[in-house]
Structure 1
Amino acid sequence: MVASSSEADNGASKSRFPDMKTTSGVQRPYFDDVGPRNVTAVVGQSTLLNCRVKHPGDRTVSWMRKRDLHILTSSIHTYTGDARFSVRHPEHSDDWDLRIEYVQKRDAGVYECQVNTEPKINLAIMLNVDDLSSLAATHPGPRPKDAQASISGPPEVYVKKGSTISLTCTVNVHSTPPSSILWYHGHAVVDFDSPRGGISLETEKTEAGTTSKLLVTKALLSDTGNYTCMPSNASPASTVVHVLNGEHPAAMQTSRAAPHHQMTLLASFCTLMAATLTR
């Protein structure tokens, strides 16, 4: 926290005392320090980290997460598989705000708004996360009657190694959408920024309910297991994923049926032989 405060102070000094002009007389970008430097969010809710850049010119504004030096956004584009992160930039405005939906405890830390000037300037913001809304797994609170999540498709899913695992979870709560939907692989929360990579989430709220789609590309054998969709205000749903190393489920069913098929052929052969001997 001390280091974060120091970084925040450095960023603030750059925004309060900008070098307004270069030697060519062109105004340089600087931060209009209007937003809070220390933000507190609540688990499951959305939050905005404010960044206002004056006179950006043709410079690029980016957001970086300090704990792993991961670039989250660059200009209006998102560079993370975690769809909870996006940039809010109204057209022709100076605002480049980082939006985080369904905030989780692990999102806490320092985030930097950066402009690729020479030297680079940055604005550091500390995000604190309070666990005021409870997860359904530990503190189940009041839920709408019959509130239930469901994962489309069969209870067991078979995919080939190297293909994409696609799981779609729908929550049938219309009046009060869930404040958060977490995905678990076994007992661990799915980490969208793990070194494994290739994991993304798409969440959509409609009048019919809330849909959360989990995508795991280039499936590994280690991706096999139980997957649970856990909304904050509804009963969870689970499915089992089997990642097969070149073996198709139909082949498994054929191998199980083979003994019965062989016995049928043997019985027919014996009947034919018996008929021949009696002639």
Structure 2
Amino acid sequence: MRIVFLLVLAVVLSRPVDVRGRRHEITAPHEYPKRQRGASLAEITPESQNNTEVVAQLGGTASIKCYTHFFGEEMVTWLKRDEDQLLTAGQHVYISEPRYVISHVRHQQLWELSVRDVRQSDAGVYECQVTSHPPTSLFFILKVVEARAVLQGGPDMHVQTGATLRLHCTLHHATETPEFIFWYHNGSMINYAPRRPLKVVKHQYKSVLVISDVRWDDAGHYRCEPHMAREANLTLHVVAGEKHAALHNGQGEGEEHSTATTTTATTTTTLFLSSGLLLLLIQHFYGTVLGNKCDFARINQKQQQEEEVEEEKKEEEEEKINPHQKREGNNGEAEERTIMEEDEEQEWRYS
């Protein structure tokens, strides 16, 4: 049975095609038609589908949709036209690559070809061939792009200590939302690191790393590594700064200013109290020293007064005793002078 099916398929593919009415030639590509909710299938025409450009990223999944409701209940064959390679026939996959999947939504008459783990070699022209009489073909152009991460402010950034840092990692050319975006600091993942008060805020195609109160050891190499995208790198340089330094990209200045004001007021109060305490200690020290000097002066003065009183008392006592001795001394001296005078007179007489 399968041999008969292949023979019929070969006959169909080898038959000439009426280019004027049923085969839609490749022209300039246009955007993929997006079917809005509630829209009618009648609005999707062969012309709106033909030459549609489908964009997929490396490592992602490309979905090429071919609506055939205007051809009736017909089977679809998918081919990679630039390589003349048969991919699927009906719901059977004829290529050995397990990355290709075919699905058929009967009530929408939709034949969807999915290519998983997209590679650069998958880019090219795909043909949706309806096995009608004559055959009708619709062409789709698959474009493969490489998603990449971009770190704002790179490759070098400077931040002050004590500031709050926000690193923004944005995905470019991504066609699918990444399952994860990991952050690395000097080779170590920090998304779930408990050692630092940091936070990772993930958006659809963006991730923000918030580091509060930047320290010296926060400097180094940072890497943003999204799923299925090229990583981005940045070198952070930490410089000395005050607590109220402006935040990077001008975010959160009010909060930092209020914190810095509070810190400054506290520091001023502490310095004032310390100065007052130091002044009291100095006054106490000099007061004690000067007081001791005054005490020593008073003691010396008192001792001198006592010594003078004692000397006066001694002199008074000596005056009471010495008059008798002075009189006797004076009498002796008078007698000696009298004797000397008599001797001199006698000598003069003999001579």
> When the two structures are superposed, what TM-score results if normalisation uses the length of structure 1?
0.37
Q: Higher Cα Rg: structure 1 or 2?
A: 2
> When the two structures are superposed, what TM-score results if normalisation uses the length of structure 2?
0.30
